[in-house]
Amino acid sequence: MTRKARQRWVIFAFLSPWLIIFAIFNAFPIIYSFFTSFTDYSGLNPEMKFVGLGNYIKALQDEVFLKALGNTLIFVVGTIPFTTGIALLLALLLNSKRLKKNGIFKAGFFLPSVISMVVISTIWIYLYSSNGLFNTVGNVLGFQMEARSWLASPKTALLSIMIMDVWAAFGYYLILIYAGLQNVPEQLYEAARIDGATNTQIALKITLPYIRPTLFFVIAINTIRSFQIFSEIYTMTGGGPRNSTQTIVHYLYQVAFRQFDMGYGSAIAYILLIMIMIVTLIQKYLLRSARV
């Protein structure tokens, strides 16, 4: 064997773990579900019936799916201003020079985001329960709280999960934004102060432009994660009451693994993939324009 041929084998050997996993668990599934999304397929028996765009048309006429899509949208619009806002505010506070040590705060605020969503959901089921923290505090403050769980009413269930998610997620974005703030050169601040710039001017003219890429990134990640919400829905409400907390991935789970309608499930998965790709592309585009 020539040296070159041997080199090729060595490279192939080193890459092989990924090539195998990529082929089996990424490439094949993406192609396979593209095809199954055009079929009527239960996954239990090998029978597959070609239905063309049937599954996609079904999705657009499926009230539950549209509800799930709407809920996801409410989720994105309703939580992102708060997660990003709280994270940005705290990151600015932590970045303040008046603070000698901020390690404990970074770790403390971040802690909830490493804990599994099932654990967090279980805790919040307890806090939202009829005798839980929120009802007790509400009663103490003089509100006539209904003696039932916040998750039991279609009016409050989605809102409750959104509040929980803001709590569970902001620490993650806080760390990202804080890392972004470290990129702002210190001299710029000093120069601006010497020139007599106000705090607002400094924030708008120096800090914001520097962390804009980070903010775009945070918002994009936040959106993509909101598209993928599953654990909290599965644990807390199962999509109910009356589909008021149904989300795309939870519905995908129900369709594919409860009703065993894998063809339709694949179509939903593809719609999800396309949505995520669109958000990613928008983020990439904004990022490019922000850097120029």
Partner 1 sequence: MKKRTVGGKWLFTLLILLLLISLMPLFMMFFTSVIPQGDLFHLITERSLLDFESSSIYLRTKMKTIGTRDFELKELPNGDSKALSITIEDPRKEYGVAAFTGDNDMNLVGHLSLYISAPENSQLYLGLKDINDVEEKIPLQRITHDGLEKLRIDFDPQRFETVNIGHISQVQFIIAPPEDALGQELVVDDIQSKLRFPTLSNFITVWKEQDFARYMFNSSLISLIVVLGNLVFCSMVAYAFARKRFRGKEVLFSLVLATMMIPPQVTIIPVFILMKNLGWIDTYMALIFPFLVTPFGIFLMRQYIEQLPSEFDEAAYVDGANDFQIFTRIIMPLSGPAMAVLGINTFITIWNDLFYPLVMTNSKGMRTVQVGLAMYQKLNQTDWPRMMSASTIAGIPVIIIFLIFQKQIISGLVEGGVKG
DSSP state letters, 208-238:
HHHHHHHHHHHHHHHHHHHHT--HHHHHHTT
C-alpha dist (Å) from residue 203 to 103, 161, 280: 23, 33, 27
In the complex, minimum distance from the CB of residue 213 to partner 1, in angstroms, rounded to a whole number = 8
Q: Which two tokens mark 15? A: 């890459």
In the complex, minimum distance from the CB of residue 153 to partner 1, in angstroms, rounded to a whole number = 16
The residue among 76 and 125 lying less far from partner 1, judged by its C-beta, is 125
The residue among 74 and 202 lying less far from partner 1, judged by its C-beta, is 202
User: For 40, which DSSP code?
Assistant: E
Residue given tokens 């050997």 in the structure block: 13
The residue among 25 and 50 lying less far from partner 1, judged by its C-beta, is 25
In the complex, minimum distance from the CB of residue 117 to partner 1, in angstroms, rounded to a whole number = 7
The residue among 90 and 157 lying less far from partner 1, judged by its C-beta, is 90
Distance between CA atoms of residues 206 and 4, nearest Å: 53
In the complex, minimum distance from the CB of residue 7 to partner 1, in angstroms, rounded to a whole number = 8
> 241 preceded by cis ω (within 30°)?
yes
